[in-house]
Structure 1
Amino acid sequence: MRIAISAAALALTAACALPADAQPPVAPLPDAPVSAFLAQCEGKDEWNDPAPPFHIYGSTYGVGTCGMNALLVADPEGLILVDVGTQEAAQLVAENIRRLGFRLEDVKWIVASHEHWDHVGGIAEMQRLTGAKVAALASAKDAFEQGRHNPIDPQGEAKFPKIRVDRVLADGDKVSVGASVLTIHATPAHSPGSSSWTWQSCEGSSCKTIAYADSATTISSDEYRFSDHPDYVANVWRGLDAIRALPCDILITPHPSASAMRERLAGGTMEDSAACRTYADQAKARFSERLESEKNTSP
């Protein structure tokens, strides 16, 4: 069944001749300006600071908070929600979806960046509100369903509401609704089940690849030494290489500040085909410094 979109959105949405693998455009809604997001979030970066929804490009919208991204990919056949944020943020994200003129029940799939409470804590509530299915990497499935961080996660233990996983994904698998097709990329740098997502959003005949690159920081509990876990270190390097290789016209990260999103929005410079490479290279440099620093500590 085709989703009920507000009259304003329908008036602005137009089909056009696109490449076979591109999605039809969904024009920005008149009440989702970037300026409103920037104004309300000025000086705010907390994970649960409310923010208005805003248009990013084509069919892609920001529906998260000032300090945490959640993205909505809209298609006439339904919606895909990428990340929710904390348990407390679920209602804020739900309200933003409604403010865009969409119905919660039109969210067909929920996917996530990684299995930490600050990004998936609200998924169970959003699943309840929408009836949507959840897809996740096999490496994140147990954490989702058990409602806790992976036991091998360097950041240690934390809990969140258990999430029903309806579909288990492998690297390169796709989640689609109508012509919206999201590809998952295993990027196990920040967490064991870390994933990044890419998709095309179009305005008229101009299509851009959105890269929702997962967090690339390699942080840990105080007592953890990456050097003591060579297999994990190898996965971190593999994950950072995968982020660097993402198709990437517009980079978005789970934490807006990690990729200077607000500054780029304010400057009208979201598009940068080198952004994912730069993001990964900076993370590689930080991880190299971390490993070097561990040489001066006792195992």
Structure 2
Amino acid sequence: MKPSLRSALLAALTLATLSAWAGQPPEWSQPQKPFRIYGNTYYVGTRGLTSILITSPQGLVLIDGTLPQNVKQIEANIQALGFRLTDVKVILNTHAHFDHAGGIAELARDTGARVEASSAGAKALMLGGKDPADPQYGEASPYAPVPHVATVPDLGVVQVGDVAITAHYTPGHTPGATTWTWRSCEAGRCMNMVFADSLGAYAADGYRFSDPAHPERLENYRRSIETIASLPCDILLSPHPDQSDLLERVAKRDAGTKPDPVVDGHACRAYAEEGRAKLEARLAKEKATAAGGKGGR
């Protein structure tokens, strides 16, 4: 395909997706000054969408690209911290929805980084989010496909310099949903960092997590909740910062609150319990809908 035609198609796709998401929460694109979370882990996203930078002398790892229109903000935040865009060697993804993966294709082009994801996540990224297996298929907006995505196996490790990031498959919110863990150290004290993927049981009309024809949907979801609950977890991060109250906890820390409110060894278990409650509420709704005589795929 000629570059001019490719650019035109990309522009058309971007315009279409931006139009489709015109009603998105304003904080999803509201600027947020980048900051250190702990050790070599930094926040480079917006007020409403998380993007995490993990640093090493041998290169950087970026997790999540948020929205297409946020790419320049993320890049400016990385540079404001004193890093070069070309220092980004790997881009990872929690799940392949528009609000967390929409900017990855452009970020990969601008940085030259390779993109890696779970097996199902890699497929969805290369489809530009148009994955028929996604519970929100038909409602979630598409985005620019990522041409090349390497697969990280469950419990596989992505290594950049002395940074080792482990993938934990946590399917449910999407088939490729992935939680990422690593350790960050500061002043001789190391923390277990957990970027837990979303556990919200959202779906398009007609989709049933409880569909008896697909028992794996519910089995996988419940297993994912248990996985997150059992992880060694000192600092919890999430795709939307308000899911883990990250910005509020950082503000309290900056105000001098002791002990450090960002560090919470119970946060992952609490997050998992919230996810369990949301799933049970969804299942109750599906049961009521089925009792009313409505079908589902």
Aligned residue in 2 for 1:238: 223
Q: Are 2:126 and 2:149, in contact at CA under 8 Å, matched by a contact in 1? A: no
Deviation at 1:263, TM superposition (A): 2.0
CA distance in 2, matches of 1:152, 1:255: 23
Find the partner of 2:178 among 164, 185, 195.
195
Q: Give the distance between the partners of 1:224 and 1:204, measured in 2 at CA.
A: 49
2:36 aligns to what?
55
**Count of aligned pairs:** 256
CA contact (8 A) 1:185 1:197 kept: yes
**What is the CA-CA distance between 1:45 and the residue it aligns to?**
5.8
Alignment match of 2:135 (pick from 154, 162, 168): 154
2:258 pairs with 1:277: no
Correspondence 1:83-232 to 2 at 5 A: 83-157=64-138, 158-228=141-211, 229-232=214-217
Taking the aligned partners of 2:150 and 2:232, their CA distance within structure 1 comes to: 24
After superposition, the Cα gap between the structure-2 partners of 1:167 and 1:209, relative to the gap in structure 1 and judged at 3 Å, is same
Distance 1:279 1:214, change over 3 A: same
User: Cα offset for 1:64?
Assistant: 0.4
- Describe the shift of the 1:256–1:286 C-alpha distance in structure 2 as closer, same or farther (beyond 3 A): same
User: Is 1:286 aligned to 2:271, yes or no?
Assistant: no
TM-score by length of 2: 0.83
After TM superposition, give the deviation of residue 223 of structure 1 in Å: 2.8
Measure the CA separation in 2 of the matches of 1:204 and 1:263. Answer: 24
1:127-164 per-residue CA deviation (whole Å, 9 max, x = no partner) reads 01100001111111211112123212111233111113
RMSD: 1.4
Asked whether 1:249 is paired with 2:234, we answer yes
Q: Separation in 2 of the partners of 1:62 and 1:201?
A: 13
Shift of 1:49: 1.0
Deviations along 1:97-130, whole A, 9 cap, x unmatched? 0000100000000001001111011000000110
* 8 A Cα contact 2:173 2:201, kept in partner: yes
Q: CA deviation at 1:91?
A: 1.0
Contact 1:187 1:196 in 2 (8 A): yes
* 2:289 is equivalent to residue 297 of structure 1: yes
Contact 2:172 2:221 in 1 (8 A): yes
Amino acid aligned to 1:253? S
**Does the CA-based 8 Å contact 1:115-1:149 persist in structure 2?**
no
Instruction: State the SS of the aligned residue for 2:68.
Output: coil
1:256 Cα offset (Å): 0.6
Following superposition, the deviation at residue 260 of structure 1 comes to 1.3
* Runs of 5+ consecutive residues of structure 1 not aligned to the other structure: 1-43
Looking at structure 1, the residues matched to 174 and 208 of structure 2 have their Cα atoms a distance apart, in angstroms, of 15
1:75 corresponds to which of 44, 56, 73: 56
Structure 2: unaligned runs, 5 residues or longer: 1-24, 254-260
Q: Per-residue CA shift, 1:47-104, capped at 9, x if unaligned?
A: 1111111110000000000100100001111100011101111111001000001000
The worse-fitting range, judged by mean Cα deviation, of 188-197 and 142-151 is 142-151
SS of equivalent to 2:243? helix
Query: Partners in 1 of 2:206 and 2:27 — Cα distance?
Result: 27
Cα deviation, residue 189, structure 1: 2.1
CA distance in 1, matches of 2:163, 2:184: 8
Residue 295 of structure 1: SS of its match in structure 2?
helix
SS at match of 1:226: coil
Identical-residue share of aligned pairs (%): 43
